[in-house]
Amino acid sequence: MQSGETLTAVLESGDTIQYIYDANAPRGGMKHTYFTPDKKFAVQFFNRQEDALDPRLQDRIRTIVGIYNPTIAEEDGGALGNTQKTAEYFRQRFCWPVAIVRQPEFGIVCPAYPDNFFFDAGASAVLNLKGKDKKSNWFTGKNRKYLSPAERGDFRTMLKTAIGLSRTIRRMHQAGLAHSDLSCNNVLIDPKTGSAVVIDIDSLVVPNKYPPEVVGTRGYIAPEVLATMGSDRGRILPSVLTDLHALPVLIYEYLFFRHPLIGPKIYSADSAEEDDFLALGEKATFIEDPNDTSNRPPDLDVTIGSLSKGLERLFIRAFVDGLHDPAERPTAMEWETELLKAWDRLYPCANPQCEKRWFIVRDENDPVCPFCKTRVREKIIRLGLKSEMRGRHGVYREKSDIIVYDRMPLFDWHIYSNVHNDEKASPEMRAYIAQYKGMWLLVNHGAEGMTSPSGRLVPKGSAVELKDAALFRMSGKDNGLLCEVSVNQNKS
Ligand SMILES: [Zn+2]
């Protein structure tokens, strides 16, 4: 066979697919990859004959492509409860295998990554990155400085990336699947748009199937897996709980551009290898551990204490309580929920030079950008969104709260108590915030039955003025939320 030759693969469905032979095909630890002539799909074969012939591996991959597949609707043979809409949603976020190759040998067909996960020619003025995939350490590590500013995104898009990744991993865990090798190499990110795609799905751990032989990636392997790697007995294998270590490592890197466990502490003066093994395994210590500061870098400036209180608590649970006690680690859904709450407290930094551009308002009484220390001069307006408790007429509890900024969009989950910001929610904007002639307004853009504090109807295109202590209904329909405004007079 010669490079460039077109070959035909027969799929298990009986269909055929063409691919271009390449003697220098990209090779990973397990597989090598060819592309279809239109480059829309990758056709992958295993490097080792034993893997390709292993009936347990084949069986595991068949269930991944079929009944566990969240990128195909249940009615088309995909995951239970999956609709066409959620399948489409997750197709953008997983590079999930779509078919199995029977001939010339066992292999898989995966969609190629979407274009925005490849660098284009303008990505760097220094390095030639064109066509390289956007592994997340390009954006969080030392090489970041070589990227053009447009590639780098800002705090808001990195937070969005973290939300997307948490949601994707939550979906996978809901099905009982574990990725087993979640790392900067297997999650591609695009900070320009704030999106992430999870790749190398074929190493998933599937319930009741033999787990794949994955070792994991340095820096993302859970401490207990690394610590027990050499031993035959008591070896801890990748699982949902070990994903729940890798996930917050990635989130922490997206938000802070540093690794949560790599600090100044020396664990073994004799051997660098031993030092690394202890630092990420048995003796791992969070660089921001509030009780044990032995691994704390002296120049730590912005810390988890500058995020929302909820996110700070989750990082403590992940990297202090749960670092060596996997059952204590927050779930992917908890990450998704807290990141979304933080998203609703984002605020644009007034300093045009601020590289992060956005920050989370942790305390409305002391709103300062933690990155450039610029203080907010405007009054901070907080909307407390309350839902009526079931069966208790007139008794409300807070569903969420938001800190508003000019032109902030609001969606169904800000209007109705039974809608959550997830893959099922409509992306249509229902209302927005506008600063107009010194007033702050909430403009109705399609919320039905919105009423003003005095009880008059606020039709589409009309607005409610956001004054301190104002109370109004976001919608008069069932499950419509009550909104309570608090205006914080900033006297700085
Ligand atoms: Zn700033």
Count CB-CB contacts under 10 A for residue 301: 10
Cα of 398 vs centre of ligand 1, distance in Å, is 29
The predicted structure's pLDDT at residue 104: 95
> Could you report the per-residue pLDDT of 209-247, keeping only the tens digit for each?
888 877 789 999 999 999 998 877 788 989 999 999 999
Cα of 367 vs centre of ligand 1, distance in Å, is 11
Does residue 42 contact residue 110 with C-beta atoms inside 8 Å? yes
pTM of the predicted model, to two decimals?
Answer: 0.95
List the structure tokens of 34: 């060819």
Cα of 359 vs centre of ligand 1, distance in Å, is 7
- pLDDT at residue 492 tops 90: no
Cα of 158 vs centre of ligand 1, distance in Å, is 15
Q: How far apart are CA 139 and CA 117, in angstroms?
A: 12
Count CB-CB contacts under 10 A for residue 297: 13
The predicted structure's pLDDT at residue 215: 74
Cα of 154 vs centre of ligand 1, distance in Å, is 11
Amino acid at 237: L
Cα of 83 vs centre of ligand 1, distance in Å, is 41
Does residue 236 contact residue 180 with C-beta atoms inside 8 Å? no
Does residue 336 contact residue 160 with C-beta atoms inside 8 Å? no
Rounded average pLDDT over 400-428: 96
One DSSP character per residue, 324-351 reads: S-GGGSPPHHHHHHHHHHHHTTEEE-S-
Fold of 116-343: Transferase(Phosphotransferase); domain 1 (1.10.510)
Q: How far apart are CA 46 and CA 125, in angstroms?
A: 37
Residue 104 preceded by cis peptide, ω within 30:
yes
Cα of 192 vs centre of ligand 1, distance in Å, is 19
- Specify the residue for token string 């702050």: 440
Cα of 355 vs centre of ligand 1, distance in Å, is 7
The predicted structure's pLDDT at residue 123: 93
For the chain, percent of residues with pLDDT exceeding 90: 85
The domain 6-112 is placed in CATH, from the list 2.60.40, 1.10.357, 3.30.200, 3.40.50, at 3.30.200
The predicted structure's pLDDT at residue 44: 96
Q: How many CA atoms lie within 13 A of 251 on its CB side?
A: 31
Cα of 368 vs centre of ligand 1, distance in Å, is 8
Does residue 469 contact residue 382 with C-beta atoms inside 8 Å? no
Cα of 347 vs centre of ligand 1, distance in Å, is 10
Q: How far apart are CA 245 and CA 192, in angstroms?
A: 26
Cα separation of the two ends of the chain: 73
Beta-sheet strand order (sheet of 409-410): 409-410, 431-436, 439-444, 463-465
Q: How far apart are CA 277 and CA 227, in angstroms?
A: 8
Cα of 149 vs centre of ligand 1, distance in Å, is 16
* Shared fold status for 116-343 and 378-488: no
> Could you report the per-residue pLDDT of 26-51, keeping only the tens digit for each?
888 889 999 999 999 999 999 999 99
- Specify the residue for token string 């500058």: 306
Cα of 491 vs centre of ligand 1, distance in Å, is 19
Cα of 353 vs centre of ligand 1, distance in Å, is 8
Does residue 377 contact residue 354 with C-beta atoms inside 8 Å? no
Angle, helices 309-316/332-343, rounded to nearest 10 degrees: 150
Q: How far apart are CA 137 and CA 186, in angstroms?
A: 11
Cα of 375 vs centre of ligand 1, distance in Å, is 8
Does residue 415 contact residue 430 with C-beta atoms inside 8 Å? yes
> Could you report the per-residue pLDDT of 94-151, keeping only the tens digit for each?
999 999 999 999 999 999 988 899 999 899 988 999 989 999 999 999 999 999 998 9
- pLDDT at residue 335 tops 60: yes
Torsion sign, CA atoms 361, 362, 367, 373: negative
The predicted structure's pLDDT at residue 65: 93
The predicted structure's pLDDT at residue 124: 92
Q: Which helix (H) or strand (E) holds 140?
A: helix 137-140
Cα of 395 vs centre of ligand 1, distance in Å, is 39
- pLDDT grade, residue 490 (50/70/90)? low
Q: In the chain, what are the domain boundaries?
A: 6-112, 116-343, 378-488
Average pLDDT for the chain: 94
Q: Which helix (H) or strand (E) holds 464?
A: strand 463-465
> Could you report the per-residue pLDDT of 245-289, keeping only the tens digit for each?
999 999 999 999 999 999 999 999 999 999 999 999 999 999 999
Does residue 93 contact residue 77 with C-beta atoms inside 8 Å? no
Rounded average pLDDT over 199-205: 89
What is 378-488's CATH number? 2.60.200
Strands (E), 185-334: 187-190, 195-198
> Could you report the per-residue pLDDT of 423-466, keeping only the tens digit for each?
999 999 999 999 999 999 999 999 999 999 999 999 999 999 99
Q: What are phi and psi of 386, to 5 degrees?
A: -120, 140
Cα of 468 vs centre of ligand 1, distance in Å, is 27
The predicted structure's pLDDT at residue 169: 97
Strands (E), 167-298: 187-190, 195-198
Cα of 409 vs centre of ligand 1, distance in Å, is 22
CB neighbours of 271 closer than 8 A, spacing ≥ 6?
A: none
Cα of 157 vs centre of ligand 1, distance in Å, is 15
